[in-house]
Amino acid sequence: MLDIAFAKPALPKSGALALLIHEGEKPSGLWAQLDEATGGAIARAFDVAEFTGAKGKTCTILAPGANLTRVLAVGLGKPADLAQKILEEAGGAVVSNLSRETAVTVTNSSLTAQQAAEVALGAVLRSYRFDRYRTKEKAEDKPKLSRMTVLTSENSKAKAAWEPLDATAKGVFLTRDLVSEPPNVLDPPEMADRCRKLSELGLKVEILGPKEMGKLGFGALLGVSQGSVKEPRMVIMHWNGASGAGKKPRDKPVVFVGKGVTFDTGGISIKPAGGMEDMKWDMAGAGTVIGLMAALAGRKAKVDAIGLVGLVENMPSGNAQRPGDVVTSYSGQTIEVINTDAEGRLVLADVLWYAQQKYDPKFMVDLATLTGAIIIGLGHEYGGLFSNDDELSQKLTAAGQATGERLWRMPLDEAYDKQIRSDIADMKNVGGRPGGSITAAQFIQRFVNGKPWAHLDIAGMAWSTKDTAVTPKGATAFGVRLLDRLVADNYES
């Protein structure tokens, strides 16, 4: 993880310097000092490159003098439009443009403590790499940047502002690690074991195996897992940040539930071979919940929160669930399995019913890479939001806008229920192609028992095929920052 420091403004004696510049801003402070120290090289370079400080634009100057190896200018746009997202993206731009440097100093003439911390957050998020299985990567191909110092006159306050953001970033990294792991390494028992290690952060972790879930009557979840030799798990993570460990809760907990299919072949309704390797990240909903719980514990959030993840592997075998099977869920409702590749909703059915029965939550939010249909509808720009509660939806949408992890609310309506009617059971697990993500949400809603609830279909957001401002290509950890912000803005005592 990129090492972050904060210091009073002063020109560095060596290394690289990043100037964050507003559109139309005139040279002042360190920028003016550097231009004078380099004999006007900075101003000349900006003129040649026509760099004005427009948002997202950059200009790199090699060996400008003053013992500096590089100077990078990053445009912040108009001062009136400055927002957290822009500062984070500026930090990300510093990392992506100066990855060959070992250390970089970042400055702007007027960074507040909070703004300095937000620049650092963007830089850290962009610096992520998953390279544990690369044994022959050449040293010259690896990024060298290991330390960033952000300059601000409020450097001690910036350190304090950075602490909770650092914890959130670590939660994001944990999620990205989990989602990036190959499925032969990260199966349900291994994923549960990694959850167990979060007790070091102060989380109480419970793990249920197939025997315990069988006694409870988790027929929907266990039906998905029965084709695999890898045993399923359900993990329950408790963070008692408001009431304190071992004390009676003062208020109802907030609850987060994640779909954790560590590999999804589709089962008997098997997927095409092309691209099936991507199904290692069908556990991204669970990965997000795990990273979120680590973030809440890491920053000692003043909230009572519970994270539950249902972990299974969906495989074809002589013992696999068949199309046409009828299973009895933990709620007692029966489900006709039409398509074994619509397995995530079966996992969520049992875990959500358990969550609302056991914990009587203030609300529940579930996350799942649930449907390809949501990608057809929203592409890779928004996660799908389905909810039975307008207030919760509004709070989630606002948190998404603040963090850049955006959600778009989709409809829920009784009219869609007819698509999941079964001739022989209480319901069937698919409703056909029309409105596929909606009928999936209608199915899940039958297991929330009227509790305030939101379902986030993150199938289009959990993995990126290209680098973005603060996310390298690969696992995004979409939802960790969104839900952390939801809690911070609305539910901490």
- Measured CA to CA, the distance from residue 285 to residue 462 in angstroms comes to 8
Please write down the HEC assignment for all residues of the chain.
CCEEEEECCCCCCCEEEEEEEECCCCCCHHHHHHHHHCCCHHHHHHHHHCCCCCCCCEEEEEEEECCEEEEEEEEEECHHHCCHHHHHHHHHHHHHHCCCCCEEEEECCCCCHHHHHHHHHHHHHHCCCCCCCCCCCCHHHCCCCCEEEEECCCHHHHHHHHHHHHHHHHHHHHHHHHHHCCCCCCCHHHHHHHHHHHHHHCCEEEEECHHHHHHHCCHHHHHHHCCCCCCCEEEEEEEECCCCCCCCCCCCCEEEEEEEEEEECCCCCCCCCCCHHHHHHCCHHHHHHHHHHHHHHHCCCCCEEEEEEEEEEECCCCCCCCCCCEEECCCCCEEECCCCCCCHHHHHHHHHHHHHHHHCCCEEEEEECCCCHHHHHHCCCCEEEEECCHHHHHHHHHHHHHHCCCEEECCCCHHHHHHHCCCCCCEECCCCCCCHHHHHHHHHHCCCCCCCEEEEECCCCCEECCCCCCCCCEECCCCHHHHHHHHHHHCCC
CA angle 339, 345, 348 (to 5 degrees): 150
Other Cβ atoms closer than 10 A to 66:
20
24: left (phi over 0), alpha (psi -120 to 50) or beta: left
Name the nearest CA neighbour of 25 among 81, 79, 89, 72: 79
Concerning whether 13 is annotated as a catalytic residue, the answer is no
Instruction: Report which residue type is found at 4.
Output: I
- Measured CA to CA, the distance from residue 345 to residue 368 in angstroms comes to 9
CA angle 95, 101, 478 (to 5 degrees): 20
Q: Find the catalytic residue in 176, 259, 345, 485.
A: 345
Helical axes 284-298 vs 155-180, angle rounded to 10°: 150
- Measured CA to CA, the distance from residue 359 to residue 240 in angstroms comes to 13
- Measured CA to CA, the distance from residue 330 to residue 218 in angstroms comes to 5
Concerning whether 157 is annotated as a catalytic residue, the answer is no
Q: Find the catalytic residue in 271, 300, 302, 409.
A: 271
Enumerate the active-site residues.
271, 345
